[in-house]
Structure 1
C-alpha cells in the first residue's frame, strides 16, 4: 500500500509540474479527452523548464500541506504565472489549442481528473486505504511526533492525498472511469 501511495503522489507531482478545490459544473468526456491530449505538449514544456533548472521550487510548492486543498495542477499553474510569465504564456497557448479557455481552467480539470483517477485506483487496488485514513484521524498527535520528521511528513502527505481521494464526487469518478486504461497508458509514458 505504501508503494501505491508513493506512486500516486509521484504521478500527481509529475503532472502538476508539467502542467481541486474549485469545482466546475460538470466534468465531461470532451474535457477529459482534451486534457489527456494536451499532456505531451505540457510535459515537453515541463522538461524544457527542468533543463533550464527552473523546476525545483514548483515541485516543493505543490506537495500536500495540512490545511490546504490538494490541487497540484492549480498550484503549479499559479506558481508558473508568478515565477515564469513567459512559460505561463506558453502553457496558456498549449491549453487553448486543446479547447481550454485558460491554463487555470486546464489545471482545474486536470486536478479533478487525477483525483478521480487516484480515487478509482485506490478503491479497486487498496480499498483499505480509506479505512486507514479514518483511523489516522483518531491517532494521538503526540504519537505522530515520535516518528522521524521525514517519515511523519510522508505519512501526513499520504493521508492528505487519501482524504482528497475520499472527497472526489461520484460524478467525477463516473466520468473518468471509461478513461482509466487510457490514463494508465498516458501516465506510464511520463
Structure 2
C-alpha cells in the first residue's frame, strides 16, 4: 500500500503542491529533506575535521539568516538537485544532484594557499563511494569532489568545490 504525502513547494511567489510517495513501512521512503539534511550534516563534520581555526568556519545554510563574519571567511552551501522525472531503480525513485561548497575568503594580501588547503581538506571528507545517512535516506557520493579553482571578485576570492551524489531506496 502506498501513502501520498503533500508537500508545499515555493519558487519565488508561486506555490505548487507535489505528491511524494512513501511506502507504508517507511523503509523505502526517500525525501529531498533527508538528503539535504545528510549533506548539511556531512558539511559540518567536514569543517569540524579541519585543523583550528578552520574547524570553526561559519557555514551559510539554505534558508537561514546569515551574517558575514568580521574576518570575512565563511563557507556557503548550495544544493542543486537534478532529479529526472520517472527515473527509478527497481521500484524505488532515484535522487541525484550536486552539492556546491563555496569558500569565501578576503583578499588580504596573504595569498591563496591557506584557503586552497582548507577547501581541499573539506573535499577529502566527500570521497567517492562515501555513504551519508539521514532518516531512511542513504546518500552515496558518486565521484571524488571537483575543485574548480579560485575566482577573484573584488574584495574576496571564492573557492568552489562540487560534490556529486546519488540516492535511492533499496528494496
Q: TM-score, normalised by structure 2?
A: 0.32
Whose strand proportion is higher, 1 or 2?
2
Larger radius of gyration: 2
> Structure 1 length as normaliser, TM-score?
0.30
Pick 1 or 2: higher relative contact order, CA cutoff 8 A, min separation 6: 1
